[in-house]
Amino acid sequence: MGKSDSGAADFKLVGFKNFVRVNPRSDRFRVIRFHHVEFWCTDATNAARRFSWGLGMPLVAKSDLSTGNPVHASYLCRSGDIIFLFTAPYSPSISAAHPSSPASIPTFSHRACREFAAIHGLGVRAISLEVEDAEAAFAASIAHGAKAISPPVFLDGHAVVAEVHLYGDVVLRYVSYKSTDLDLSRPDSWFLPGFEPMDASSAFPADYGIRRLDHVVGNVHELGPAVSYVKKFTGFHEFAEFISADVGTLESGLNSVVLANNDETVLLPMNEPVFGTKRKSQIQTYLEHNEGPGIQHLALVSDDIFRTLREMRRRSFVGGFEFMPSPPPTYYRNMKNRAGDVLSNEQIKECEELGILVDRDDQGTLLQIFTKPVGDRYMFFLLEHIFLFLLVLINCSLRLLAILCPLKVDHDNKYRMLYPD
């Protein structure tokens, strides 16, 4: 493997071609899946509505003043297995006047949320994992070097929530339930106590086909310490690694390591900048704009990328999300030779019309496209449709991001570098 378990001092990248993936099933606690992603901001109402509209994720639950929560406003968007939570603080004086009314997110901090928003803007605060036992996961993490953010909190005898530091101002949140018999009609059962369903008149019902979260990518200053830290306290194994040559450009470099749980349902890539290149590394650009490490992009899997993208593009200029520039026509000329056995002529035409990139290896085919930054900082969404599992998936997304960011580049030439005729 690329690195030993002895820590950051032994950290050494070998690159994608030389990396040998082994799954030792070494998790320190049982991980079930990604549970939710929480964004901290200063206006949760408008942030949630924009993401709901732009991504086709119905707004289904809330915890705010109307539900008896004087501490924070939180709104929950859900599509398939993906849950995005948007949280903003109320005035501390309001919560102080209602000391018997607790926050629905028990780990919430006024001070931390305000500082986070001032430094990072709208951004991901928490990556939440559903685990078998959040109390045990927290204990195992702390015993193996994790920095505690919040010890386990027991909610109405139903759920347990705990947090440890991940990188930058991002936390890894553990959630577990005392019973697997959850009432899917009640967000205080299937999510957390204190959340109530949205009024039908307030919810945006459309569903564009986004179904699950594939991976969450973070940018850090140095991979060695970050990877060793997370690997040590989670027990996650190295799923893949990439160096600048692997991602298709030596002009603007990055290195990346992907960590995964036993079942490889949770993928956590981490990137570091490479210096001494012709252009500043896009990872360094992110670190400067974000004022430190954080979540760079989230990869969302669609069950029909053509339908999803058509719906999203219709809303691009009316409050939705915009996308990276499309490849030039030359990119699609030989598409039939590269992927004609998987994609029909009609599908190839749709890829060209919608600006979708196609990549493949011997294990499968991937259709993908990046949004432009979704806010004032460099945070993106990657939309994917996977025909079969392929390890090259993350490599493809890293190559695309490396080529296109920063945005002021000659896109025709860059796409030819990425996918020559």
- Shared domain for 133 and 40, answered yes or no, is yes
Q: How confident is the model at residue 249, as a pLDDT?
A: 57
- Shared domain for 152 and 247, answered yes or no, is no
Q: What is the pTM of this model?
A: 0.90
pLDDT tens, the chain, 421 aa long: 344 344 566 788 998 889 999 999 999 999 999 999 999 999 999 999 999 999 999 999 999 999 999 999 999 999 999 999 999 999 998 888 887 778 999 999 999 999 999 999 999 999 999 999 999 999 999 999 999 999 999 999 899 999 999 999 999 999 999 988 889 889 999 999 999 999 876 666 789 999 999 999 999 999 999 999 999 999 999 999 998 887 755 556 889 999 999 999 999 999 999 988 778 888 999 999 999 999 999 999 998 999 999 999 999 999 999 999 998 888 888 888 888 888 899 999 999 999 999 887 766 788 899 999 888 877 888 888 765 443 444 444 554 455 444 433 334 444 433 444 4
Q: CA 112, CA 110: separation in Å to the nearest integer?
A: 6
According to DSSP, the residues that pair with 238 across neighbouring strands are 259
For the chain, what is the domain count?
A: 2
Q: CA 14, CA 7: separation in Å to the nearest integer?
A: 16
Q: CA 145, CA 361: separation in Å to the nearest integer?
A: 38
- Shared domain for 102 and 234, answered yes or no, is no
- Shared domain for 219 and 310, answered yes or no, is yes
Element (H, E) at 260: strand 254-260
- Shared domain for 39 and 146, answered yes or no, is yes
Query: Are the beta carbons of 60 and 86 closer than 8 angstroms?
Result: no
- Shared domain for 185 and 225, answered yes or no, is no
In a domain, 4, yes or no: no
Q: How confident is the model at residue 397, as a pLDDT?
A: 54
Q: How confident is the model at residue 21, as a pLDDT?
A: 92
**Domain encompassing residue 115:** 31-197
Q: How confident is the model at residue 202, as a pLDDT?
A: 65
In a domain, 93, yes or no: yes
In a domain, 10, yes or no: no
In a domain, 21, yes or no: no
- Shared domain for 359 and 294, answered yes or no, is yes
- Shared domain for 108 and 84, answered yes or no, is yes
Domain ends where: 197, 220, 240?
Answer: 197
In a domain, 7, yes or no: no
- Shared domain for 177 and 243, answered yes or no, is no
In a domain, 160, yes or no: yes
The sign of the torsion formed by the CA atoms of 141, 144, 149, 152 equals positive
- Shared domain for 157 and 63, answered yes or no, is yes
Domain ends where: 149, 172, 197?
Answer: 197
Query: Are the beta carbons of 281 and 274 closer than 8 angstroms?
Result: yes
Q: How confident is the model at residue 389, as a pLDDT?
A: 40
DSSP string of 149-201, one letter each residue: EEEEEEETTTEEEEEEEEETTEEEEEEEES-S---TT-HHHHT-TT-EEPPTT
- Shared domain for 92 and 115, answered yes or no, is yes
CATH number at residue 186: 3.10.180.10
Number of neighbouring beta carbons within 10 Å of residue 58: 17
Q: How confident is the model at residue 387, as a pLDDT?
A: 56
In a domain, 106, yes or no: yes
Q: How confident is the model at residue 386, as a pLDDT?
A: 62
Q: What is the dihedral of CA 95, 98, 100, 103, to 10 degrees?
A: -30
- Shared domain for 270 and 190, answered yes or no, is no
